[in-house]
Structure 1
Amino acid sequence: MTQKTGRRLADGTAISDLVDLEMREVKLRTLSDREIYDIEQEKIFGKIWLLLGHESEIPNKGDFMQRHMGEDSVIVSRDRKGEVHVMLNVCPHRGMKITTHESGNTNVHTCIYHGWAFKSDGDFLGSPVADQCMHGKMRGKEELGLTKARVTLYGGLVWATWNINGPSLEEFLGDTKWYYDMLYCRSKKGLEVAGPPQRFIIRANWKTAGEQSAADGYHTLTLHRWLGEMGNYSSDEGTQGSELAKEMLGAEVSSPHGHALRCIDLARKIVKLTGKDPSELSVEEKLRALPPPGMTSEMVDDLFETMTPEQLEVMAWMPPQVGGMFPNIIFEFLYLPQPDGTVVGSLALHTYVPKGPDKLEFTNWIFVERDTPPELKEQMIQQSVQLLGTSGMVESDDSDTWPHMTLSAKGAQGRNSTLKYQAIYETGKPEGWPGPGIVNEGFTKDDTQWHWWKYWYELMTAED
């Protein structure tokens, strides 16, 4: 049992009173309060694993990119041996940024202020006017390197944490890793980025986007209803938008660490493509008829070498397509119907980097499989940018709501309102479901987002 702290805000409110665990409600003030935001930088962004990018962004020795862990700027670099490192982008001499560039290539990072120099792994090299020993003699060179984070690569994704002796990334992901493997570890050569990530600033608290990323499917029917009226899920059959409503059915995976996945049934798409009942097809036949997003029928061979039989069953039946990783990540591996009846995949991943209690940086990566044919890559990239990019139609919808929620949280009355997560699953796993974790079947509910908030609560009230 995690021990709770009696820490209180300046007005006397206990952190633990911000979340009503019995009623599944969260005070709206959590989306704007400066004190709460500052504590999050310490308790969340200073403690847990954070996603910084993909190793294909720094393919060569000496390549580096500047990213953020909360509000801390960091350098993500590849050293002479090809190893990836993450270092605090703060010179230990006088606090200047070591690099002000977004990316580049160098084997030596030199501070422009006083010229202190560091290797690509963060170790201190020396200071100018060596005979004068301007770095002093009170600390040895081994003490003057850049502060280093703990780093793990998973499926090419670069993760880091300041909690050097804390849980491993695998422990942090828990049961959900079984599902994420289907996305990021499914092929031999793996994924690569389709260019640098897109970025833009939104005047909103990072949690407005973060909690939605925990597999909130419900808002799709209203905020993105155009998808069912004239977009990829429009249909000439039956009720307008009915195809989009069917996408809300499936299985949802929750996690005690706030990770979430929405697994959507492929049966309707397979019937349209093959004219056959999916129950009459083998796992391999279904995967070749409808390969995972971004893969061709020929690339399906890789799956039988990288995935377990149980994972293959889920990939051919009800694969993860949308979801998030706590605290600020959403992924989209979508099977998007085309006007000619075919299906083209879109692979995107967003992070919502906090830039203050009412500002976040939206970062969007578009992925393709390394072995994907060039013409399919181009089609995927174009479709992903139009739908999921910083100017994409879906993200334009979402980024319009978050600032309004943040403003609502600032009002004298509004800040005492609550966010409610009271639509609860009563079903359990689909019959025959082979995967681990907290799994429920049916129309999308609030469970995944509630588990997100419960982990936020656990971290914010834990003793140091």
Structure 2
Amino acid sequence: MTESTNPRLSDGTLLSDLINLETREVKMRTLSDPELYELEMERIFAKTWVFLGHETEIPNKGDFVVRDMGSDSVLMARGSDDNIYVSLNVCPHRGMKISTHDVGNTPVHVCIYHGWAFKPNGDFIGAPVDKECMHGNLLTKEQLGLKKARVAIYGGLVFATWNIDGPSFDDFLGDAKWYFDTLWCRTNKGMEVLGPPQRFTIRANWKTACEQSASDGFHVLTLHRWLSEVGPYRKPGSEGGGGDLTPEMYGSEVYTAHAHTMRCIELDRKIRRLTGKEPSELSVKEKLEALPPPGITPAMLPEMMERFSEDQLKLMTWRPPQVGNFFPNGLFEFVYIPTPDGVIGVMALHAYVPKGPDKLEFVNWILAEKDTPPELKAQMLRLGVQLLGTSGMVEQDDSDTWPHQTLAAKGAVSKNITLKYQAMYENAKPEGWPGPGDVGDGFTKDDTQWRWWQYWHELMTAKN
């Protein structure tokens, strides 16, 4: 636990006045306040590990993409040594952006203002007219490189932090790593992105999306009810809708110290429907063959089974993580989508990038294992974009609510009402639960989202 402070906003409000840790309430003002936003950029996005993208977006030496770590633009680039580097996209000479492109390939990044040049790893090369030494003699070339972040590559995912001497990436993941390994580290070759990410801007505070991404399951019943009325969960032959999403609300939810969370949804119904047998009568291998994890083909199963412990395989065939988050602003979806021909697994990643107190950028990647057959990749991409992409049917629902919340948070009266997270698990881990962390069992509750706010509070009040 970090030593805490209690920042005071310009109107005299203490940060502790915005969140009631006993009654599990958060004032709406947190979703719009500009001062609070600036503090978040300094105390969260400049301190924690931030998800930026996937290594297969920049497969070749010199490849780069421009991303954001909170309010800071960064270059995510593959160097001549084949390693991935993350550097501040700001020239140390006069503050011009080094790259004004979103993506590209170059062995040298040249600032368009005065021509200072940098390697993909951020090292300073020099300024034009070398004999005139236009970079001066007061600082060495080593001191004039781009500001570099610490980088961690995990299962192909790229994370970075400005907190150079802070906790390791493994410490940041904590108990969540045991579960995340079953998603991101399933095959020897790993995953790849199926094309560049989709992006669009939403007039909403970043936290509206991110507190929902912390495994809010309850909203699915109402906001996404079309899934059971006309979508993939519609009961065949029913009149006027018919399907029931309530069974999808049961399972287990995991929440960890650093607010990485996940919804682990029961598979027994699907396996029973596919095999006609009780899951308890089947071995782990038989259940995996009947219903492979999203994105895993039967041919990949032997390799996957060798990579995990018995406890992890038990989880993957009982209640695997299907939706969850990376704190502070990442969401993942590993979902089973019913189709007329059976079940297709879809894998998506979202980042909700802050662009101001009332603006965020929604970034969406669709992924597949590298060994996935091309025709299946095409199906996964099509279905992923249709459901989970920027124009996807699910995301149209979600992105409609967040601007309304942000606008309400600006009201003279409504800014002081509270977001409530008071539906609590009152039971222990389910019997035989194989993994670590805090675990709730049964119908989805608010504990995962509340953990998100608890960690937000811890970081916002931490002594720098």
Match of 2:267 in 1: 266
Match of 1:354 in 2: 354
CA distance in 2 between counterparts of 1:267 and 1:364 reads: 30
Matched residue type, 1:37: Y
CA distance in 2 between counterparts of 1:223 and 1:411 reads: 24
| Matched ranges for 1:401-440 at <5 A | 401-440=401-440
Match of 1:299 in 2: 300
- Identical-pair percentage: 65
CA distance in 2 between counterparts of 1:146 and 1:32 reads: 32
CA distance in 2 between counterparts of 1:322 and 1:283 reads: 22
Matched residue type, 2:200: F
Match of 1:107 in 2: 107
Cα offset, 1:256, TM superposition: 1.7
Alpha-carbon displacement from aligned partner over 1:352-394 (angstroms, at most 9, x marks no partner):
0000000000000000111111111111110000000000000
CA distance in 2 between counterparts of 1:320 and 1:6 reads: 35
Number of residue pairs aligned between Structure 1 and Structure 2: 463
Which deviates further from its counterpart, 267-276 or 209-218? 267-276
CA distance in 2 between counterparts of 1:37 and 1:414 reads: 19
- How well do the aligned residues superpose, as a CA RMSD in angstroms? 1.1
CA distance in 2 between counterparts of 1:258 and 1:213 reads: 11
Alpha-carbon displacement from aligned partner over 1:328-357 (angstroms, at most 9, x marks no partner):
1111000111123x1001100100000000
CA distance in 2 between counterparts of 1:2 and 1:12 reads: 24
Matched residue type, 1:331: F
CA distance in 1 between counterparts of 2:376 and 2:351 reads: 25
CA distance in 1 between counterparts of 2:323 and 2:238 reads: 26
Matched residue type, 1:204: A
Cα offset, 1:308, TM superposition: 1.2
CA distance in 1 between counterparts of 2:435 and 2:117 reads: 49
Match of 1:378 in 2: 378
CA distance in 2 between counterparts of 1:299 and 1:75 reads: 34
Cα offset, 1:400, TM superposition: 0.2
Match of 1:36 in 2: 36
CA distance in 2 between counterparts of 1:272 and 1:280 reads: 14
Alpha-carbon displacement from aligned partner over 1:388-447 (angstroms, at most 9, x marks no partner):
000000000000000000000000001001000000001221111111110111000000
Cα offset, 1:34, TM superposition: 0.2
- Unaligned residue ranges in structure 1 (runs of 5+): none
Cα offset, 1:225, TM superposition: 0.2
CA distance in 1 between counterparts of 2:4 and 2:317 reads: 43
Match of 2:277 in 1: 276
Q: Given the two structures, how large is their TM-score scaled by the length of structure 1?
A: 0.98
1:200 aligned counterpart, secondary structure: strand
1:451 aligned counterpart, secondary structure: helix
Cα offset, 1:242, TM superposition: 4.9
Matched residue type, 2:310: P
- Unaligned residue ranges in structure 2 (runs of 5+): none
Cα offset, 1:297, TM superposition: 1.3
Matched residue type, 2:313: L
Match of 1:204 in 2: 204
Q: Given the two structures, how large is their TM-score scaled by the length of structure 2?
A: 0.98
Cα offset, 1:6, TM superposition: 3.1
Q: Are the counterparts in 2 of residues 77 and 120 from structure 1 also a CA contact under 8 Å?
A: yes
Matched residue type, 2:4: K
Cα offset, 1:296, TM superposition: 1.1
Which deviates further from its counterpart, 238-247 or 303-312? 238-247
CA distance in 2 between counterparts of 1:100 and 1:320 reads: 38
| Matched ranges for 1:318-337 at <5 A | 318-337=319-338
Match of 2:26 in 1: 26
Alpha-carbon displacement from aligned partner over 1:200-243 (angstroms, at most 9, x marks no partner):
00000000000000000000000000001111111148995554
Match of 1:312 in 2: 313
Matched residue type, 2:33: D
Which contiguous aligned blocks of 4+ residues in structure 1 show a shift greater than 3 angstroms? 236-243
CA distance in 2 between counterparts of 1:171 and 1:237 reads: 50
